[in-house]
Amino acid sequence: MKVLFQWIADQKYQTLPQSLMHELSLIHAHYLYLNEQIKIQDTKLKQLAEHHEQAKLLKTVPGIGDLTATLCVADVSAASNFSNGRNMAAWLGLVPRQYSTGGKTKLLGVSKRGNKHLRTLFIHGARAVLSRLETTGKVFGQWLVDLRACKPFNVVVVALANKLARIAWAVLYHRQVFKTASQS
């Protein structure tokens, strides 16, 4: 956007009509205002995540940042609402949907139940982890590297998002920071 607005400013004395320049300057001012508001909200979110104990614990998990941690704390409220991490992952819609007939079960895509925004944040967190697989592969173990080698990318993303949700439940339930197997 900055390049576009700079180009428009350079065209000021060229062939652009004055009314168009006025409208574009209003749009530019609104754009700057919105960017400032986004920075303010980001600051508030960071402060909220730093002052909330559960959010701080969740941020120790790779792939979970300020936004995911605060939304997870707000939406889940108490990990004791779920008997285990799988139930929380199912509540978020990060488990396969099943179709069965005649005793045969077929697994379909994710069920997409629960909070759409939180599920999306877990999926984006999983994408971020997979983009740095060389460093994060050690954190989540060899299963992630093996899965990435033989399954399509989006299948691996959803599987890792499911694991992140289960880890988030464990962190909230036990009120302990995330530790890898090598750290234990």
Q: Which of these ranges, 2-16, 29-43, 104-118, has the smallest mean pLDDT?
A: 2-16
- The verdict on residue 164 lying in a domain is yes
Torsion 118-72-61-86 (CA) sign: negative
Higher pLDDT among residues 177 and 107, named by residue? 177
**Residue 169 burial by Cβ neighbours in a 10 Å radius (0-12, 13-18, 19+):** buried
Q: Is residue 155 part of a domain?
A: yes
Count of the separate structural domains present in the chain: 1
- Domain span holding position 158: 52-174
Whole-structure pTM over 0.85, yes or no?
A: no
State residue 77's pLDDT score.
80
Percent of the chain predicted with pLDDT > 90: 46
- 9/136 Cα distance (integer angstroms): 45
Res 11: pLDDT = 65
Residue 103: which region, alpha, beta or left (left: phi > 0; alpha: psi -120 to 50)? left
Q: How confident is the model at residue 12 (pLDDT cuts 50, 70, 90)?
A: low
The residue ranking higher by pLDDT, 162 or 102, is 162
Give the model's pLDDT for residue 111: 65
How many C-beta atoms lie closer than 10 Å to residue 94's C-beta? 28
Residue 166 falls inside a structural domain: yes
Kind and range of the H or E element at 110? strand 104-110
pLDDT 10s digits, 60-95: 999 999 999 999 999 888 888 899 999 999 889 888
Contacts of 128 (CB under 8 A, 6+ apart): 63
Q: Is the pLDDT of residue 9 over 70?
A: no
74: in domain: yes
Assign 14 a pLDDT band (cuts: 50, 70, 90).
low
Please indicate, yes or no, if residue 181 is contained in any of the structural domains: no
Q: Is the pLDDT of residue 13 over 70?
A: no
